[in-house]
Amino acid sequence: MKNYCGLLTDIRFITLNAFSYGSKDGKELDLDQIEELLSNTREIIRKQGRIYFGTFPSEVRPEHISQESLELVLKYANNENITMDLSLEVK
């Protein structure tokens, strides 16, 4: 990504649940890993780039929304909202 930093403007992540990034089991959040991802991305694209995290196509599960996870989005990302995936698990 560093080789393209002058060309990148918008960064979007593709994942089923953005807040499960770095989690060992997909249930417990690893906020340190999320912060590292977002801060490193911000460092590479600098202020001219925009980060979208927790928006389509990387929605978040409602049980992973917390004050701390939202603060990371506000600190590093440009989106003003998040998209929750409310789909039910099929058993």
Q: What is the DSSP string of the chain?
A: -GGGTTT--EEE---S-GGGTT-SSSSS--HHHHHHHHHHHHHHHTTTSEEE-SSTTS-B-GGG--HHHHHHHHHH---S---B--PPPP-
pLDDT tens column, 18-51: 999 999 998 999 999 999 999 999 998 888 899 9
Q: Looking at the domain assignment, is residue 90 inside a domain?
A: no
Q: Looking at the domain assignment, is residue 87 inside a domain?
A: no
Domain count within the chain: 1
Report pLDDT for 90. 46
Q: Looking at the domain assignment, is residue 16 inside a domain?
A: yes
Q: Looking at the domain assignment, is residue 86 inside a domain?
A: no
Residue 58 pLDDT class (50, 70, 90 cuts): confident
Query: What count of other Cβ atoms lies within 10 Å of the Cβ of residue 12?
Result: 14
By the 8 A CB rule, do 28 and 64 touch? Answer: no
Report pLDDT for 4. 55
Report pLDDT for 82. 94
Stronger pLDDT, 70 or 2, i.e. the higher one: 70
Q: Looking at the domain assignment, is residue 13 inside a domain?
A: yes
For the entire predicted model, the pTM comes to 0.84
**Over the chain, what is the mean pLDDT?**
88
Report pLDDT for 68. 97
- Residue 66 structural domain: 2-76
**Residue 15 tokens, joined:** 């994942």
Q: Looking at the domain assignment, is residue 45 inside a domain?
A: yes
